[in-house]
């Protein structure tokens, strides 16, 4: 699996159909864009994330170059903590380990290419498949916001999960940062 920058002109037509129902949509984006996903509102959401937080959208691609997943990533330059958002996998390919592989690749990118010391993400407690995927990669729950989101008659808690960069922690213990070592 490889990661590449999201290309709206060629990728949107595929990923727009990956969110197949209203509840999955709410679990994925907390209704920050329309359902079903429309190009204009999706583009607006991505532009807003880029402007406000420096987010960059990515797609994960298989050996044939076909998109298998999507996510956004940004780095907080003050804390050196990366943030993954809007993670989704092609539903036809779920259950095959591609989500784990994509999250590992995204974390490797964050640590190796952006110098992140940790990567965080948010997930609703009721999204057990996603939580299990993140935990299997090594993410740990840091805190939970009770009653963070309402979906019809349900109220969902939102969990902040974090994966620390073991190499950065080792380097800090030896008085060097990974970034300094690579200069």
Question: For 12-29, what is the mean pLDDT?
Answer: 96
Q: For all residues of the chain together, what is the average pLDDT?
A: 91
Peptide bond into 36 cis (omega under 30): yes
Looking at the predicted structure, is the pLDDT value of residue 173 above 70? no
Residue 155 has pLDDT above 90, yes or no: yes
Number of domains in the chain: 1
pLDDT tens digits, one per residue of 97-145 = 899 999 999 999 999 999 999 999 999 999 999 999 999 999 999 999 9
Confidence of residue 94 (pLDDT cuts 50, 70, 90): confident
Look up the pTM and report it.
0.89
pLDDT for 179 equals 35
pLDDT band at 95 (very low <50, low <70, confident <90, very high): confident
Give the C-alpha distances (Å, rounded to integers) separating 129 from 24, 97, 109, 139: 12, 12, 23, 14
The per-residue pLDDT for 166 is 80
Which pLDDT score, from 0 to 100, does residue 177 have? 36
> Which CATH number covers residue 87?
3.40.630.30
pLDDT at 168: 55
pLDDT bracket for residue 56 (50, 70, 90): very high
Give the tokens for residue 47: 């532009």
Backbone angles phi, psi at 158, to 5 degrees: -115, 125
Q: Average pLDDT in the 46-54 region?
A: 97
Query: Domain limits at 17?
Result: 2-182
Using CB atoms within 10 A of its CB, is residue 180 exposed (0-12), middle (13-18) or buried (19+)? exposed
Has residue 176 got a pLDDT over 70? no
DSSP 153-180: TEEEEEEEEEEE-HHHHHHHHTT--HHH
Q: Is 60 helix (H, G, I), strand (E, B) or coil?
A: strand
């Amino acid at each position: 699996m490889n990661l590449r920058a999201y290309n709206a002109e060629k990728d949107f037509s595929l990923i727009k159909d990956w969110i197949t129902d209203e509840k999955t949509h709410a679990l994925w984006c907390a209704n920050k864009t329309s359902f079903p996903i429309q190009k204009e509102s999706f583009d607006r959401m991505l532009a807003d994330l880029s402007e406000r937080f420096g987010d960059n959208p990515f797609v994960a691609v298989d050996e044939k170059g076909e998109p298998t997943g999507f996510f956004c990533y940004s780095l907080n330059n003050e804390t050196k903590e990366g943030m993954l958002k809007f993670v989704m996998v092609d539903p036809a390919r779920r259950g095959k380990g591609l989500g784990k592989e994509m999250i590992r690749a995204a974390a490797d990118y964050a640590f190796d290419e952006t110098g992140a010391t940790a990567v965080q993400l948010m997930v609703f407690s009721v999204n057990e498949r996603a939580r299990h995927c993140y935990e299997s990669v090594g993410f740990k729950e840091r805190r939970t916001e009770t009653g963070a989101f309402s979906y019809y008659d349900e109220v969902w808690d939102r969990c902040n999960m974090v994966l620390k960069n073991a190499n950065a922690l080792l380097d800090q213990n030896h008085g060097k940062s990974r970034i300094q070592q690579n200069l």
